[in-house]
């Protein structure tokens, strides 16, 4: 199979997937025990209010009709209107996007840096004290809840130094940057352990390879070996890990936004949940699911360039 055919195939596969995602997002409203309109309005809502909600959400039509309407509107960028603020859902998402993108971008960069550094250090010192210590830390890192890590960073870093805001998104570019450091670090501590495990294993295997031995024999320095020979493999592992981990990353992002009171999509989601604002919950869920799908797609396409063998398989 050629690369372009592979990419085309992956693109086409995405279409039924997105259709399926939308079914699940629609189903959210229907798994509500009892009458969803009643659940949204609250037990106290009058019959007229409930009827109005039912009308608005199209609940009095068949599921198929609702689905077609939802997909049709979504394609035109209309994800409905918040039952609470009457604001279009897409507008809410637009307003809340910036802090979330900042957090994900900065967190991802920091995760990759941290994971690479620790993995190289561990793999070079395989079966020595440093490797065991880092391995132990990785296991502990896997077992810490992200929000708690964030709170501990506030306690141990932000409060004593006073250099970082306790919460909020700051003002202006530098304010945002300063405000995002601790959340991004929290993100990295939560996300990198899984990356470290995969990357260390790959590096250990590579170090055993003949070509590394050979390079050492011809006198290349360790950093040259790393840069020349291992970076491509490492990049592949990292891309795969980002692709696999993107789902958990988004959840970690939601939790971190709550911890640091960042006014992002995650906070909007949690607020919408508290207010039983279904259109907003559905819209944000759909947005994150689409993001995940495109990251998967992007990672596969990227991999097909770096490692053409995947195309053949």
Partner 1 sequence: MLTKALPHSFRGRLVVAAAALLLTLPVAPSAALADGTLTIGRPADVSAMSVFSHSTIEDEIVHPMLFDTLVYGSKDDPGYVPGLAESWDFDSASNSYVFKLRANAAFSDGSPVTAADVVYSLSAAKEKSQNYKGMLAGMTAAEAVDDHTVKVTLAGPDNIFMSGLIWVYVLPENMNGKDADAFFAEPLASGPFALDAWTPGSSMSLVRNPHYWNAAETGLDRVDMKIIQGDNERLAAFQSGDIDIYENVRFDFIDQIPEAQRHIVSPTARTMFLFTNNYKPPFDSIEARKALSYAVDRDAIGEALWPGLSVPVQGMLMPGTTGAVPADAGSWDFDLETAEAALAASPTPKPEITLSAAYIRGVDEVLVQAVQAQLQDAGFQVTLNVSDFNTILGQVLNGEFDVWLLGNTTFGTTVAEMFAFYGGAFGPLGGWDLDALGGALEKYLVAPDAAGREAAVRDFENMMRETFTAVPIGHPDTVFAIADGVEGFETLPTTAYRLDRISVNR
Partner 2 sequence: MMARIAQRARRGARPLPMKARIGLTILAAYILAGIFGPMLLPFDPDKTDILRRLKPPSNVHWLGTDQLGRDFLTRLVVAIRVDLPIAFAAAFFPMVIGTALGAIAGYYGKLADTVVSRAADLVQAFPVYVFLLVLVFALGAGATSFIVAATVIAWVGYARLARGEVMRLKSLEFVEAARVTGLPERVILTTHVLPNALPQTLIYYMSDVVLMVLVLSSLSFLGVGIQPPTAEWGRMIAEGQPFLRSHWWLAAAPGLMLMVFGTGLSLLADGLDDWLRS
Q: Which residues bind partner 2 (CB under 8 A)?
A: 17, 20-21, 24, 28-29, 31-33, 139-140, 142-149, 151-152, 154-155, 159, 246-251, 254-255, 258-259, 269-270, 273-274, 281, 285, 288-289, 291-293, 296
Q: How far is the CB of 144 from partner 2 (least distance, A)?
A: 5
**CA dist list (Å): 91 to 85, 88, 103, 275, 283:** 11, 5, 20, 18, 11
Min CB(225)–partner 2 separation in Å: 29
Output 61 or 258, the one with its CB closest to partner 2: 258
Compute CA distances 272 → 82, 165, 176, whole Å. 9, 25, 24
| 146 interacts with, out of partner 1, partner 2, none, CB within 5 to 8 A per kind | partner 2
Contact stretch for partner 1 (CB under 8 A) within 98-106, 143-151, 189-197, 237-245: 98-106
Note whether 98 binds partner 1 by CB under 8 A: yes
Burial code of 166-177, b = ≥16 C-beta within 10 A, e = fewer? Answer: eeebbeeeeebe
Quick check: 135 binds partner 1 (CB under 8 A)? no
Q: How far is the CB of 145 from partner 2 (least distance, A)?
A: 5
Rule CB under 8 A: say whether 186 interacts with partner 1.
no
Q: Does 308 bind partner 1 (CB under 8 A)?
A: no
Inter-residue contact 257 to 62 (CB < 8 Å) = no
| Interaction between residue 219 and partner 1 (CB under 8 A) | no
Angle between the 172-207 and 129-142 helix axes, to the nearest 10 degrees?
130
Is the Cβ–Cβ distance between 126 and 207 less than 8 Å? yes
- What string of DSSP letters covers 101-141? HHHHHHHHHHHHHHHHHHHHHHHHTTTSHHHHHHHHHHHHH
Please say which residue, 100 or 138, places its beta carbon nearer to partner 1.
100
Kindly determine how many residues on this chain lie close enough to bind partner 1 according to the rule CB under 8 A: 44
Q: List, as one string, the DSSP characters of 177-238.
A: HHHHHHHHHHHHHHHHHHHHHHHHHHHHHHHTSHHHHHHHHTT--HHHHIIIIIHHHHHHHH
Q: Does 46 bind partner 1 (CB under 8 A)?
A: yes
235 binding partner 1? (CB under 8 A): yes
- Of 24 and 214, the one with the shorter C-beta distance to partner 2 is 24
């Amino acid at each position: 199979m050629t690369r372009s055919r592979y990419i085309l195939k992956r693109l086409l596969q995405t279409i039924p997937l997105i259709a399926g995602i939308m079914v699940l997002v629609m189903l959210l409203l229907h798994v509500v025990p009892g009458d969803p309109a009643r659940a949204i309005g609250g037990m106290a809502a009058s019959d007229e209010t409930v009827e109005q909600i039912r009308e608005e959400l199209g609940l009095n039509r068949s599921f198929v009709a609702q689905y077609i309407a939802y997909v049709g509107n979504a394609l035109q960028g209309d994800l409905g209107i918040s039952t609470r603020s009457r604001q279009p859902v897409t507008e809410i998402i637009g307003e809340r996007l910036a802090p979330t993108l900042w957090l994900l971008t900065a967190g991802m960069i920091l995760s990759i840096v941290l994971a690479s550094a620790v993995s190289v250090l561990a793999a070079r010192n395989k079966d020595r004290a440093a490797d065991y210590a880092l391995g132990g830390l990785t296991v502990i890192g896997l077992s810490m809840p992200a929000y708690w890590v964030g709170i501990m960073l506030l306690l141990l870093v932000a409060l004593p130094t006073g250099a970082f805001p306790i919460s909020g998104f700051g003002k202006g570019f530098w304010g945002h940057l300063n405000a995002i450091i601790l959340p991004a670090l929290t993100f990295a501590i939560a996300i990198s352990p899984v990356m470290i495990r995969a990357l260390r294993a790959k590096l250990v295997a590579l170090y055993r390879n003949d070509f590394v031995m050979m390079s050492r024999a011809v006198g290349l320095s360790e950093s040259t070996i790393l840069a020349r020979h291992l970076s491509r493999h490492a990049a592949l592992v990292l891309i795969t890990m980002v692709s696999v981990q993107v789902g958990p990353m988004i959840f970690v992002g939601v939790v971190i936004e709550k911890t640091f009171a960042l006014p992002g999509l995650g906070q909007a989601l949690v607020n919408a949940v508290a207010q039983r604002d279904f259109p907003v919950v559905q819209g944000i869920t759909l947005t994150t699911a689409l993001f995940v799908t495109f990251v998967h797609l992007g990672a596969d396409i990227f991999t097909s360039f770096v490692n053409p063998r995947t195309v053949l398989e």
